[in-house]
C-alpha cells in the first residue's frame, strides 16, 4: 500500500491505546517499542479492511498479543505457558475455530494465538454460528496477520492449509491438520469441520506438558 493510499489514522485513540500498553509493559519494553506496535498493528489489517474506523480496538488487541509474544521470547515473569500458534490462509475460519476450541478446553493452561498468511477483512460465514452452538463466542474475533513475534514465541505451530506460505522456525514442533476450508461451505459442512478440529484438539491436549 503506497503512502498516498494509507488510511487516516485515528491518532488520539491509538495514542490512548499506546499509553495503556506502556503502563502494562513498563519495565519490560522501551517506550519506542510499545508506541510503534499499535500503529503497525493498525496498518496491517487496514490493508484488507473495508471500514477503517472500527480498527482501533482490534489494533490494540493485536499489539497486546505481539507484546505478550515478545515477553515470552525474552522470558518475562508470567510468560511461561505453552504457546500453540494456529495458522491458515485467511485466519477467518479454521485457525480461528481451533484457537477458540483450544481456549475453551485448555482452561487457561495454554496460550493460543491464531493468524493468517493472507488475512481477509471478515470472518467466514457460519463460523461464529457453529461455535456459538458449542457455547463459544466469537464476538471479539477478527482476522489477524502473521507477525514475526507470534511465530518466534510459538512452542507448537499448527498449520491448516497455508501451504508454502506457512512459517518455518527451527526447533519448533510442527503439526499440519488437513482440515477442509469452510470458505463458502454450507452450515452442515462447517459443523463437520468444527467437529474434526475438535478431535484434533483432543489429541493435542493429550500431548501437552502436564496433561
> 61-108, pLDDT tens digit by residue?
888 899 989 888 888 655 578 899 999 999 999 999 999 999 999 988
3 assigned to some structural domain: no
The residue whose grid cell reads 481456549 is 103
Which residue, 80, 97, 124, sits at the end of a domain?
80
Q: Count Cα neighbours of 135 within 13 Å in the Cβ-side half-sphere.
A: 3
180 and 87 in a single domain? The answer is: yes
105 shares a domain with 85: yes
List helix spans (H) across the chain: 11-24, 31-46, 56-74, 94-106, 127-132, 148-153, 187-207
Residue 165 domain flag:
yes
Closest CA to 58 of 28, 14, 26: 14
Report the alpha-carbon angle 130-136-141, nearest 5.
90
Does residue 97 lie in a domain region?
yes
| Final residue of a structural domain among 80, 97, 116 | 80
The range of the structural domain enclosing residue 118 comes to 81-211
What is the spatial distance between Cα 46 and Cα 40, in angstroms, rounded to a whole number?
10
For the record, the C-alpha cell of 130 comes out as 457453529
Same domain, 96 and 70: no
Indicate if the pLDDT at residue 1 is higher than 50: no
Q: Which three cell numbers stand for residue 146?
A: 502473521
Predicted confidence (pLDDT) at residue 6 exceeds the cutoff of 50: no
Q: What are the phi and psi torsion angles at 115 (to 5°)?
A: -160, 165
Q: Domain check: are 88 and 150 in the same one? A: yes
pTM of the predicted model, to two decimals?
Answer: 0.82
- Collect all residues with Cβ–Cβ distance below 8 Å to 186 and sequence separation of at least 6: 126
Of 80, 107, 133, the one marking the end of a domain is: 80
Amino acid at each position: 500500500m503506497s503512502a498516498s493510499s494509507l488510511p487516516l489514522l485515528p491518532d488520539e485513540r491509538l495514542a490512548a491505546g499506546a499509553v495503556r500498553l506502556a503502563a502494562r509493559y513498563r519495565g519490560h519494553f522501551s517506550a519506542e517499542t510499545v508506541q510503534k506496535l499499535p500503529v503497525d498493528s493498525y496498518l496491517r489489517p487496514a490493508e484488507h479492511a473495508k471500514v477503517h474506523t472500527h480498527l482501533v480496538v482490534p489494533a490494540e488487541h493485536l499489539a497486546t498479543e505481539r507484546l505478550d509474544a515478545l515477553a515470552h521470547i525474552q522470558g518475562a515473569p508470567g510468560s511461561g505457558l505453552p504457546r500453540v500458534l494456529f495458522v491458515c490462509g485467511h485466519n477467518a475460519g479454521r485457525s480461528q475455530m481451533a484457537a477458540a476450541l483450544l481456549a475453551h478446553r485448555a482452561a487457561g493452561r495454554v496460550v493460543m494465538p491464531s493468524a493468517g498468511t493472507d488475512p481477509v477483512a471478515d470472518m467466514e460465514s457460519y463460523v461464529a454460528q457453529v461455535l456459538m452452538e458449542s457455547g463459544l463466542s466469537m464476538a471479539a474475533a477478527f482476522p489477524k496477520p502473521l507477525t514475526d513475534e507470534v511465530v518466534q514465541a510459538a512452542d507448537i505451530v499448527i498449520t491448516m492449509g497455508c501451504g508454502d506460505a506457512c512459517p518455518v522456525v527451527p526447533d519448533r514442533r510442527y503439526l499440519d491438520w488437513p482440515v477442509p476450508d469452510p470458505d463458502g461451505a454450507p452450515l452442515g459442512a462447517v459443523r463437520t469441520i468444527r467437529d474434526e478440529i475438535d478431535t484434533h484438539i483432543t489429541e493435542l491436549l493429550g500431548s501437552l506438558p502436564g496433561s
